[in-house]
Structure 1
Amino acid sequence: MTSLWQQTGPTIATDVFDAGARDTVVVGAGLTGMVTAVLLARAGQRVTVLEARRVGAVATGNTTAKLSLLQGTVLSGIREHAGDDALRAYAEANREGQAWLLRQLDAWGAGSAAERRAAYTYATDPSQLPALEREREASEIAGIALAETAETGLPYETAGALRLADQAQLQPVTVLAELVRELRGRGGAVVEECRVRDVVRRGGGVEVSSDLGTVAADACVLATGTPILDRGLFFAKLEPSRSFVGAYRLSGRAAPRGMYVSVGEPHRSLRTAQDVTGGELLVVGGASHVTGRGGDTRREVSALDAWTDERFGGAQRMAWWAAQDYRTHWRLPYAGRLPRGGGRIYTATGYNKWGMTNGVAAGLAIAAEMLGGHLEWAEALRGHALRLPAVADAIGASAGVAAHLVSGWVGAEFSGEEREPGDEGSLDREGSDAVDGAPAGPHEPAEGEGVVVRDGLAPRGVARVDGRVCRVSAVCPHMGGILRWNGAERSWDCPLHGSRFSAEGKRLEGPAVEDLAP
């Protein structure tokens, strides 16, 4: 399961780990981390980026990569949960993030990584038109002039749409490669396969502990999707969600030329992209669910296929992937100091599926704060008083976490996803249901499946991947949630705060920093 962007983007080499002192260590080599690192390096700082996996391995390399100020119904949601002033600040942050990245791509001679397109938010049913009107009103307050239109270029009927011209769709791995190139040209380094375990204050700076060694620095930026340190309790202020994306070759028809987001269910996101040969593909995203609570995720991918084929006819899936996003209860991103970090640790999170604009804006905000600058709109990204809708959201999310924590532990035996006949082949996987010729036992699931069982009092996760049975603790090392098997991605996902682990127990993403116990 490799995203189209990773398949078609440039290869990015790693630097050798160096334990020498730095001005700033950035943790995470996605868009936020790399933008922040480059801005600090331009100011003369010595910067090292430490990445647990590979550059762009998490959200940035698995996004739909739309650089747009029209973001579905996000603006009306911010207005409801945070108010008009916060809405205006958010819009200005996104304007600056969008403009900065487009300028840089041109300056780097990499303008082809951004294709200009009109963006649309559309309704498929008249009952959804009030949501479009609320978004239009919020956009007007934010200073974004949307056009109402009945013409979308889609091959299926819509009830109405909003349009914003001159937005952009990106090849995000190319963007990251350009950022890495500039950082190295300014003396910085990007070290892959280097997981950071902890950051502590030491004297007037920080000490960053990683699998490859310890680095001293004046400051640290956690650009890890959600903070990997629990200071500030961000895990309790965020809702993690996971979405699937497919890239399809269409038979006998051209793909629509815009970028699209639907309102209502099923939620769908569309854009075009090129495959490795330069051929055009239609990229379709959707099936969003709270991480670890998605039911049979394989069915969600199959549903994405069916939806695309029904509307575009003869669509052949060439690739599929998934991404994780985080949303704050007040709907605004956070970018600033991490509480109890002595003013030396910074973080950014809560982009709510729009990380191309928000990720850049967060980098601009953090770098400005670290360098003593001031961006008026950045104040809104450093925390916000909760209005009643946000309070209700937070209470509901906390109740959901508590319910999943309790329900995970009460059963004497836990079960993984239910499997319909033939489901294990729905993603074109290969593999045997036996190990060394032995049939799957009662606690040895079929190929591609996982279950949680009791081993005495300890919940154990048992999964079969590529013919091999893997047994790990089913308890998330972050806050003790019982993990759920994600059959589409063959991972163990935590329904509490979104930590994810491979079938072998290796930590993939989320607030957890440790692997699963054996």
Structure 2
Amino acid sequence: MNAQAATGRSYWLDTLPPGDPAPAPAGDFEVDVAVVGAGMAGLSTAWELTRRGYGVAVLEADRIAAGVTGHTTAKLSAQHTLIYDRLRRTRGTDGARLYARSQTEAIHRAAEIVGDLGIDCDWEDTAAYTYAQDRRRIPDLRAEAEAAREAGLPAEYVTETELPFPVAGAVRVADQAQFHPRKYLMAVADAVRRGGGQLYEGTRVLGLTEGEPCVLTTEEGIAVTARDVVVATHYPVFDRALLFTRLAPRREVVVAAPVDASKAPGGMYITPEHRTRSVRTAPYADGKRLLIVTGERFNLGVGQDVEERFATLTGWGQRTFGELSISHRWATQDNDSTDSVPLVGLLHPASRHVYVATGFGGWGLTGGIMAGRLLCDEITGQESPWSELYDPRRITPVLREGARFLRHQIHVARHFVGDRLPALTRPSLDELAPGDGAVVRIAGRGCAVHRDEDGRLHAVSARCTHLGCLVAFNRAEQAWECPCHGSRFAPDGQVLHGPAVRPLEPRDI
């Protein structure tokens, strides 16, 4: 199958597709803890709490483990590219050690769960590498290896890898892992149910009233009363903490192809070069391994040609690993916090019973498992040694995140203000090709217009329902995307990805 014919569904969803949906709640109900979002962070939190005897309900707007978690590259690693030298400088030696310990314990926790529940999820122990081909990066790699060792990881600087090309250097960290995330999480979801937890799909939460107790309101008007609430929706759907000022969404494309097992590189690899390149393999049929290549990071909703991104990544894979028959391709989305550390804990300074888990920066599997344990400890009144490190209420010095914070705010402001200025040019509807979409001005209003493959036009409001930035069309994935905070919508305006929770309104053209 070539790149053009490859499925848009991720390999994880293709090999374990969603079955019959869990029903939405039939009426109002009460529970000890309500968890919003059924990805790695949400289900890990639910599993930890049910094990301690808490009544838990998980409310998922779409399908369990089918969102960001279902589109990951599925690495379980405490080596997050070049992070430990940065943490050593911004958080000190103790902060870097806490980060390494919390992420390493997350890997061990996942291994325990796999063993305890007997999960067949293609678990493989392996090493993680952060590499570079540019020799000017060697000092950075050496500093990272030293900082990672100092933080307690089994890290070393090496110059040889199993990649089919030479590298200038690499940081190798042993005792990491990779797995099939949906096989893992669907088994965890079953364990939550067996423990008395309730899981609801197709249940979008629109409102939150904080208090003792808290009340969540769903799209269907159902009220869920809970002593504690966990918001684990990847990008928080509630803005009262203004966390969107500290989160920068980005997207990357993924291509996958079967290769002979004898030619598959061992280990998990990532480089910050070439707009990121991430490589790993997974078990496949007929004596082959599935090569999974990720990269070509881009900002959402800024008019970039995503089809070109897929072509560039595929071309790199072909040049690097030889002729590839692409079997799957998809895209994944991540949120980077402006100080490189996830935000896990109480939602804002006045919160007493509402918690959040976000900002994992591309490492949401170990981060989500870590978040589940941390939030469970906080909700049950136990101390976590790294709660202060991840606390969303932390006051971050300007020197720590100032430059990244300002860059993100300038990017958002450019769209938030610029999108409200009269446009100089707009395509005419006659110029819109089948399968394409564009924002056009009709009767003084911005309309997001899509022409389907049959030639019919469909129009919705061009204003994102989160904070009103203008959306742009991603032809490769057939979605409207917001450049400010990463919300995504189907061509008919239905929400695909938050923080927006309401669809784009239909427009009559």
1:391 to 390, 402, 409: 402
The answer to whether the Cα contact below 8 Å between 1:128 and 1:263 also exists between their aligned partners in 2 is: no
The code of the aligned residue for 2:346 comes to R
Change (3 A) 1:248 1:190: same
Change (3 A) 1:197 1:276: farther
Q: How far apart, in 2, do the equivalents of 1:466 and 1:176 lie?
A: 36
If the length of structure 1 is used for normalisation, what is the TM-score?
0.91
The answer to whether the Cα contact below 8 Å between 2:279 and 2:291 also exists between their aligned partners in 1 is: yes
Alignment of 1:478 with 2:466, yes or no, is yes
1:162 is paired with a residue of what secondary structure? strand
Task: Tell me whether 235-244 or 13-22 shows the greater mean CA deviation.
Answer: 13-22
Aligned to 2:416: 405
The answer to whether the Cα contact below 8 Å between 1:491 and 1:502 also exists between their aligned partners in 2 is: yes
Aligned to 2:177: 168
Aligned to 2:495: 507
1:108 to 105, 117, 134: 117
CA deviations on 1:302-345 (whole Å, 9 max, x unpaired) are 11111001111111110111111111111111111112664121
1:250 is paired with a residue of what secondary structure? strand
2:219 to 198, 206, 211: 211
CA-CA distance at 1:279 after TM superposition: 4.2
CA-CA distance at 1:78 after TM superposition: 3.0
Q: How far apart, in 2, do the equivalents of 1:191 and 1:277 lie?
A: 37
2:315 to 283, 306, 324: 306
The answer to whether the Cα contact below 8 Å between 1:238 and 1:329 also exists between their aligned partners in 2 is: yes
In the TM superposition, structure 1's runs of 4+ consecutive aligned residues that sit over 4 Å from their partners are 10-13, 275-279, 413-416
Q: How does 1:10-21 map to 2 (within 5 A)?
A: 11=18, 13-18=20-25, 19-21=28-30
Q: How far apart, in 2, do the equivalents of 1:99 and 1:315 lie?
A: 34
Aligned to 2:331: 322
Alignment of 1:489 with 2:477, yes or no, is yes
The answer to whether the Cα contact below 8 Å between 1:81 and 1:331 also exists between their aligned partners in 2 is: no
Aligned to 2:5: none
Aligned to 1:63: 72
CA deviations on 1:53-77 (whole Å, 9 max, x unpaired) are 1111221111001001222112233
Q: How far apart, in 1, do the equivalents of 2:262 and 2:461 lie?
A: 49
The code of the aligned residue for 1:376 comes to P
RMSD of equivalent CA atoms: 2.0
Aligned to 1:437: none
If the length of structure 2 is used for normalisation, what is the TM-score?
0.92
Aligned to 1:425: none
Q: How far apart, in 1, do the equivalents of 2:57 and 2:320 lie?
A: 47
CA-CA distance at 1:408 after TM superposition: 2.3
Q: How far apart, in 1, do the equivalents of 2:303 and 2:98 lie?
A: 33
Q: How does 1:40-189 map to 2 (within 5 A)?
A: 40-110=49-119, 112-189=121-198
Gaps of 5+ in 2: 1-7
CA deviations on 1:262-320 (whole Å, 9 max, x unpaired) are 13224100111235777421000001122223611110011111100111111111011
The code of the aligned residue for 2:188 comes to L
CA-CA distance at 1:406 after TM superposition: 2.5
Q: How far apart, in 1, do the equivalents of 2:181 and 2:19 lie?
A: 13
2:420 is paired with a residue of what secondary structure? helix
Aligned to 1:453: 440
The answer to whether the Cα contact below 8 Å between 1:443 and 1:451 also exists between their aligned partners in 2 is: no
Q: How far apart, in 1, do the equivalents of 2:174 and 2:429 lie?
A: 57
Equivalenced residue count is 493
The code of the aligned residue for 1:395 comes to L
Change (3 A) 1:42 1:404: same
Gaps of 5+ in 1: 417-440
The answer to whether the Cα contact below 8 Å between 1:68 and 1:357 also exists between their aligned partners in 2 is: yes
Q: How far apart, in 2, do the equivalents of 1:368 and 1:444 lie?
A: 57
